[in-house]
Amino acid sequence: MNLVTEQTATVLIVDDNPANLGVLSDALDQAGLEVWVAKSGKVALERVKYALPHLILLDVMMPEIDGFETCRQLKANPQTKDIPVIFMTALSDTANKLEGFEVGAVDYITKPFQQEEVLSRVKLHLKLYDLAAKLDQKNTLLEQKVAEVSQAYEDLQQMQIKLIQSEKLSSLGQMVAGIAHEINNPVNFIYGNLIPAGEYTQELLHILRLYQQEYPNPTPRIQTQLEATDLDFLQEDLLKLLNSMNIGAKRIHEIVKSMRIFSRVDEAKMKAVNIHEGIDSTLTILNYRLKAKPEHSGIEVVKEYGQLPLIECYAGQLNQVFMNILANAIDALDEYNQQRSFAEIQKQPSRISIRTTMISNEWVAIHISDNGPGICEVKKAKLFNPFFTTKPVGKGTGLGLSISHQIVVEKHGGNIYCQSTPGNLTEFVIQIPIQQRIAQVA
């Protein structure tokens, strides 16, 4: 619909009677309207192909194509269907008037014409047409605005999800780093002192043995005490005990180190890091879920690390991605095993494989796969959607993979995708550029 202003409004008069044409066009012309004329329905239909009038005055009785047919054709054409049509008919013709409305006319005027009436009806319908066109425009505008607002709302929601999650991640990272820091000192204290403690013990035992050799006949008081204490057992067990304390302290030391590598809160900037360290620290943190327990069998982890250079990245965030993917694999394997018999599990034990490779001089890939239940095509299509989860309420949030996607794709200019053969294998592949300038170019 095009807008009408009264000054520029054009009216097409269609009539086979030259006298009628003359009278009408004079009257409309004097009222300041632009008038086009057509002597038949056929000419009128041709005319509207080149330019659209704002209103059409249409005679009913015409040779060849009559007014009704002309009107039908106008209404059938999307270009002309909105142009208001006013029929011109003889005073007595009620049936004609009805048919006129049926084929889509907005009004009729009767012959012989009353100039005043014609003018006011024409003006009224031009005005109506104009208002309808304006309403149409406003509606379109409103629809656009509604679409914009709902898009903005959706964006906001996504943003909030990401904010909440990154907030959670960073506070979790800070907590892990804090704990690691607090444990670090006392552990180093124990770890550091265990070595001299071992040496002192050895020396004391040595002196004891020397005493026994030099003084083979102890006094009765010592003799009684020696009988009460099984000295040989004590010597042997003390050494074992020190040894296991050593192993324990070493293990705590490793875990603390992993926690620090994992959280990397001190590194808000991109840094070139060894991603194998990141994967290993994540595995250490997840170790309690990989080990065999009375209620479930363990998960074997097979690592196949390629020769990779240092990768420029947000290490803490990338570790979060490894964590999400590995935790999902463990969840999937655990659930799978609950449905499998002991024999089935024995035949095909749970396994997670981690493989890293260079794809080119500029890109590396990390493949993390599990031999769990697999993912069907329908679920695969939704994996990276926020809130998509198949886990019970309280266990899954459905955010792990959507956050991982955001970290890999948006923060690092990389790719992440999943390939799966249901009942056999699920593999997540992360591809990232070694240097971030390459991500910008790509």
Ligand X SMILES: Nc1ncnc2c1ncn2[C@@H]1O[C@H](COP(=O)(O)OP(=O)(O)O)[C@@H](O)[C@H]1O
Where along the sequence are the contacts to Mg ion (CB under 5 A)?
Answer: 328, 400
When CB distances are held under 5 to 8 angstroms depending on the partner's kind, the choice from Mg ion, ligand X, none that residue 20 binds is none
Q: 191 vs 417, which CB is nearer to ligand X?
A: 417
- Which of 363, 364, 371 lies closest to 345 in space, CA to CA? 371
Please provide residue 167's backbone torsions phi and psi, each rounded to the nearest 5 degrees: -60, -50
DSSP 120: H
Buried/exposed 113-137: b ≥16 CB within 10 Å, e otherwise: beeeebbebbbebbeebbeebeeee
Position 370 contacts ligand X (CB under 6 A): yes
Closest approach, Cβ 421 to ligand X, in A, equals 11
Q: Which strands make up the sheet holding 85-90, listed edge to edge?
A: 34-38, 10-14, 55-59, 85-90, 107-111
Closest approach, Cβ 54 to ligand X, in A, equals 58
Closest approach, Cβ 401 to ligand X, in A, equals 3
Position 401 contacts ligand X (CB under 6 A): yes
Given a contact cutoff of 8 angstroms between Cβ atoms, the answer to whether 36 and 47 are in contact is yes
Alpha carbon distance 25, 240 (integer Å): 118
Tokens of 6: 């009264």
Considering only residues 267 to 326 of the shown chain, the ones binding ligand X according to CB under 6 A are 324
Stretch that binds ligand X, among 103-111, 197-205, 285-293, 395-403 (CB under 6 A): 395-403
Given a contact cutoff of 8 angstroms between Cβ atoms, the answer to whether 261 and 316 are in contact is no
When CB distances are held under 5 to 8 angstroms depending on the partner's kind, the choice from ligand X, Mg ion, none that residue 375 binds is ligand X
When CB distances are held under 5 to 8 angstroms depending on the partner's kind, the choice from Mg ion, ligand X, none that residue 389 binds is ligand X
Position 15 contacts ligand X (CB under 6 A): no
Position 390 contacts ligand X (CB under 6 A): yes
Closest approach, Cβ 423 to Mg ion, in A, equals 21
Stretch that binds ligand X, among 29-37, 105-113, 205-213, 328-336 (CB under 6 A): 328-336
Residue closest to ligand X, measured at CB: 400
Stretch that binds ligand X, among 41-49, 120-128, 191-199, 367-375 (CB under 6 A): 367-375
Task: Report which secondary-structure segment, H or E, holds 425.
Answer: strand 425-433
Position 397 contacts ligand X (CB under 6 A): yes
Alpha carbon distance 24, 399 (integer Å): 73
Closest approach, Cβ 381 to ligand X, in A, equals 11
Buried/exposed 139-171: b ≥16 CB within 10 Å, e otherwise: eeeeeeeeeeeeeeeeeeeeeebbeebeeebee
Buried/exposed 310-326: b ≥16 CB within 10 Å, e otherwise: ebbbbbbbbbbbbbbbb
Position 375 contacts ligand X (CB under 6 A): yes
Closest approach, Cβ 335 to ligand X, in A, equals 8
Give the interface size with ligand X as a residue count (CB under 6 A): 22
Alpha carbon distance 122, 32 (integer Å): 12
Closest approach, Cβ 396 to Mg ion, in A, equals 6
- Residues of this chain that interact with ligand X (CB under 6 A) are 324, 328-329, 332, 370, 372-373, 375, 379, 383, 388-391, 396-402, 426
